[in-house]
Amino acid sequence: MKTLKLIGALALGAMTAACAQLPDVTSRNAPFEATEPLLGSSPLVTESVAQKQLPYSMNVTEINVRAPRSLTVSEANVFYPRGDIVWRGDPIGDRYEQIETIFADAFAKGTANMNGTVPVVLDVEIARFHSVSEKTRYFASGVHNLEFILTVRSADTGIALAQPRKVSANLNAFGGQAAIEADRAGHTQKVRITGYLAQVIQEELAKPSV
């Protein structure tokens, strides 16, 4: 489990069905056009949702990300691998740790400017991280299917401030020549997904139900 405490420098600087126990399910399907601003060398999110009116003034002090080891991992190079975790944006290794790091980094970026008066902790459980295989990426295209369960707790009491919610966030993947050119330009799968998730967490925390 990756635990990221946001203090000091950071203050300056989600096909599976919806879980019946989770009353609030959010679904997104972002096309390339919606994510293009996230790809450059400028800030990942051009307009911070955190700067808008929030349900209350939050200060994200800690982010706990967990990818349960019960999730299945597939390294099969087929058009649609069967597995909860399909990830090729890092070298072969511990895929659980790799995707935990992606979520932790993305959510740290997305909440870096949330320095309000109510200290909160984010508990994030990854439910699915189904990216694209090498075969899909270079001979077709696909979707990065990202699902997670988000719980917002009081940093002071540890009590959840709202019911856990399951979020489904889908990002269109590059394929063929577009994928090759994106890699050459530094717009890798990891860069795009990290930027997209940073935007997703901002939007989720801006909802009145949180």
Higher pLDDT, 4 or 6: 4
Question: What are the tokens at 150?
Answer: 């988000």
3 phi/psi in degrees, rounded to 5:
-120, 125
122 phi/psi in degrees, rounded to 5:
-105, 125
CA dist., res. 47 & res. 171, Å (int): 19
Nearest to 146 by CA among 89, 75, 208, 77: 89
121 phi/psi in degrees, rounded to 5:
-120, 135
* pLDDT score of 57: 84
CA dist., res. 96 & res. 153, Å (int): 24
CA dist., res. 92 & res. 16, Å (int): 25
CA dist., res. 62 & res. 43, Å (int): 22
Higher pLDDT, 42 or 189: 189
Residue pair 108/136 in contact (Cβ under 8 Å)? The answer is no
Nearest to 92 by CA among 104, 79, 77: 77
* pLDDT score of 191: 97
Percentage of residues of the chain with pLDDT beyond 70: 72
Question: What are the tokens at 67?
Answer: 């990818």
**Looking at 71-75, 96-100, 184-188, 205-209, which range is the least confident one?**
205-209
Per-residue pLDDT reduced to its tens digit, 111-160: 999 989 999 999 999 999 999 999 999 898 899 999 999 999 999 999 99
CATH of domain 2-8+22-205: 3.40.50
Asked if the model's pLDDT at residue 30 lies above 80, the reply is: no
- Rounded mean pLDDT of the chain? 81
* pLDDT score of 22: 47
State the average pLDDT over residues 164-191.
95
State the average pLDDT over residues 59-87.
97
* pLDDT score of 28: 59
Residue pair 40/103 in contact (Cβ under 8 Å)? The answer is no
Nearest to 28 by CA among 209, 210, 172, 139: 172
Residue 150 three-state SS:
strand
Global pTM value: 0.76
23 pLDDT tier (thresholds 50, 70, 90): very low
State the average pLDDT over residues 74-81.
96
Residue pair 197/167 in contact (Cβ under 8 Å)? The answer is no
Asked if the model's pLDDT at residue 41 lies above 60, the reply is: no
